[in-house]
Amino acid sequence: MVSVTVEVYGTLRLRTKRKYIYVEIPEVSDRKDLAFALSKVCPDLVGIAINSDATDFNDTYSINLNGLTFLDNDSFRVMSGDSIILLSNQAGG
């Protein structure tokens, strides 16, 4: 398992009162792994950013690795210290 930081922005930050959430996920993970791990550490996200059975993120949210790569349905590899950014899909203004 690898420790990663999930960064929280916008309304999620206001609701959870957290900027960062630390989770452990497998080195090769997918969205389901991340959603499940996050739901255990921060249940407030379930029903908002994470779907009700904690198997994926809701359509209105995207996830991004280190500000560089958006994570889709494929599996992805993480290293210790990586940051995963959880963001609303209402980009821009």
What beta strand segments (E) does the chain contain? 2-8, 20-25, 28-29, 61-65, 69-70, 76-77, 83-88
Cβ-based nearer residue to another protein, 10 or 43: 10
Place of tokens 């209402």: 90
Q: How far is the CB of 33 from another protein (least distance, A)?
A: 19
Q: How far is the CB of 6 from another protein (least distance, A)?
A: 12
Q: Which two tokens stand for residue 64?
A: 């991004």
Instruction: Using CB under 8 A, list all residues that contact another protein.
Output: 7, 9-11, 13-14, 48, 58-60, 62, 64, 66-72, 85, 87-93
